[in-house]
Amino acid sequence: MNDAAVPFYAVTFEADETGYIMARFADWPNIITGGDTLAEAVQSAAEALEATIAYYHEEGLALPEPLGEHSGQLNIRVPRSLHRELKRRASEEGVSLNALVSHLLTVAARGSIS
C-alpha cells in the first residue's frame, strides 16, 4: 500500500472490565479489534486499518477524511523520572512510548483509572 496517500487516522485504546483492550478508530466505526495486551491491540489495530484501507483502494472507494481539526500531536514536558518509567513500561509491554502514553491518556480522559 502507498502510505504517502493515506491520511493519519487516530486510534484509541480502552480496556474493558475483563482487561481486554479494545482499539477503536473514530473515522472507521466498523473497525472493531483489540488484544489481550496493549502490544496485541496496537498490532491488531494496525492490521485492521491496513486491510480496510486496502479494500477501499481495491474497490475504488474514497477514504474518509479524518475527523476534527486536531493534529493528534501533543508535546508535553515531564520529569525525567516519569519519562524513564514510561519508557521502561513501554518496553515491557512491547509497544512504543507513544502508544503507551496514548493508551494511558485515553484511560485517564475517560475516568477509567483505578
The verdict on residue 58 lying in a domain is yes
The verdict on residue 39 lying in a domain is yes
- Give residue 65's pLDDT: 82
Q: Is this prediction's pTM over 0.75?
A: no
The DSSP-derived string for the chain is --GGGPPP--EEEEE-TTS-EEEEETTEEEEEEEESSHHHHHHHHHHHHHHHHHHHHHHTPPPPPPSSS--S-------HHHHHHHHHHHHHHTS-HHHHHHHHHHHHHTT---
pLDDT tens digits for 91-100?
999 998 988 8
The verdict on residue 114 lying in a domain is no
- Give residue 6's pLDDT: 66
Q: Residue 68's domain spans which residues?
A: 3-109
- Average pLDDT score over residue span 38-48: 92
Pick from 60, 48, 66, 58: nearest CA to 6: 66
User: 112 pLDDT band (50/70/90 cuts)?
Assistant: low
Is pLDDT of 36 > 80? yes
User: Rounded CA gap, 86 and 95, in Å?
Assistant: 11
pLDDT tens digits for 54-85?
999 999 998 888 876 566 677 788 888 999 99
Cα angle at 51 between 50 and 56, to 5 degrees? 95
- Give residue 29's pLDDT: 87
- Give residue 71's pLDDT: 65
The verdict on residue 36 lying in a domain is yes
User: 5 pLDDT band (50/70/90 cuts)?
Assistant: low
CATH label of the domain that carries residue 105: 3.30.160
- Is the separation of the CB atoms in 90 and 99 below 8 Å? yes
User: Rounded CA gap, 80 and 91, in Å?
Assistant: 16
How many structural domains compose the chain?
Answer: 1
